[in-house]
């Protein structure tokens, strides 16, 4: 009997009915790889949960906050491998084969992987941001949550998993991972929605994110950072 597909995909959502269906369709097109999709919703009021169920995903409910949502989904996952995603991303062509080859590498269970960042916008300054993120991810081993994270559940458990932080849950997890292992690029672009950059502007958004990360490293509580970010 063939082994079941290895990958459990965990997606944190809140009011993503306009974007989630396309991502779920991409995941459904890789049945030999994806065992299950767990959509963990943080209180949507736009039909996000309905679309998740319609696509065959397991719908879980959680308090709002990606840390709590991703942590709950990972705890409920049944596959040996986890892929943690935000709901507003689009997977690149060939992603399933690239993931499959990565999982087959010797020592794969001791590594973690991320996608390269691609922002859905034609603004040239965002290409510079993508380059900066690429360099930061490789040289400093600091990819963030909007780049996705692929890792074995044993490695996830060994570093303590995603903590239920209201903000900076991705940086918190990656900092623990990089102290234990190497984070490798899947060398494919994961397209994220550019609505925050469109709404707030490139410089304001980039500067605001930088200030939040600096405050986090100075010890400002995640609750206060979330108030600044979402407020």
**Residue 114: its pLDDT value, please?**
98
What mean pLDDT do residues 136-151 have? 95
Split at pLDDT 50, 70, 90, the class of 77 is very high
What mean pLDDT do residues 72-79 have? 98
| 3 pLDDT higher than 90 | no
**Residue 124: its pLDDT value, please?**
86
Residue spans of the domains in the chain: they are 7-196
* CA–CA separation, 137 and 189 (whole Å): 13
Split at pLDDT 50, 70, 90, the class of 227 is confident
**Residue 194: its pLDDT value, please?**
77
| 197 pLDDT higher than 80 | no
Lowest mean pLDDT, pick from 78-92, 109-123, 195-209, 214-228: 195-209
> Which tokens hold the place of 50?
């309905």
Average of per-residue pLDDT values in the chain: 93
What mean pLDDT do residues 27-45 have? 96
Topology adopted by domain 7-196: Spore Coat Polysaccharide Biosynthesis Protein SpsA; Chain A (3.90.550)
| 142 pLDDT higher than 80 | yes
Give 92-126 pLDDT, tens digit per residue. Answer: 999 999 999 999 999 999 999 999 999 988 888 88
* CA–CA separation, 218 and 31 (whole Å): 44
Nearest CA among 39, 30, 16 for reference residue 91: 30
**Residue 1: its pLDDT value, please?**
63
| 185 pLDDT higher than 90 | yes
What mean pLDDT do residues 150-156 have? 98
């Amino acid at each position: 009997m063939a082994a079941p597909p290895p990958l459990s995909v965990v997606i944190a959502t809140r009011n993503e009915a306009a974007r989630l269906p396309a991502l779920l369709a991409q995941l459904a097109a890789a049945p030999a790889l994806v065992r299950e999709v767990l959509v963990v919703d943080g209180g949507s009021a736009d039909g996000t949960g309905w679309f998740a169920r319609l696509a065959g995903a397991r719908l879980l409910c959680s308090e709002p906050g990606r840390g709590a949502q991703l942590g709950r989904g990972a705890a409920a996952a049944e596959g040996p491998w986890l892929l943690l995603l935000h709901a507003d991303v689009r997977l690149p062509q060939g992603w399933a084969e690239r993931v499959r080859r990565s999982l087959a590498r010797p020592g794969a269970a001791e590594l973690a992987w991320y996608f390269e960042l691609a922002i859905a916008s034609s603004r040239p300054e965002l290409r510079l941001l993508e380059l900066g993120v690429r360099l930061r991810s490789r040289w400093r081993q600091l990819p963030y949550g909007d780049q996705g994270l692929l890792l074995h559940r044993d490695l996830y458990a060994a570093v303590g998993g995603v903590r239920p932080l209201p903000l900076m849950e991705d940086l918190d997890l990656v900092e623990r991972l990089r102290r234990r292992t190497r984070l490798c690029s899947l060398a494919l672009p994961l397209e994220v929605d550019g609505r925050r950059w469109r709404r707030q502007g490139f410089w304001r958004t980039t500067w605001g994110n930088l200030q939040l990360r600096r405050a986090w490293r100075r010890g400002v509580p995640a609750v206060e950072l979330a108030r600044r970010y979402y407020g």
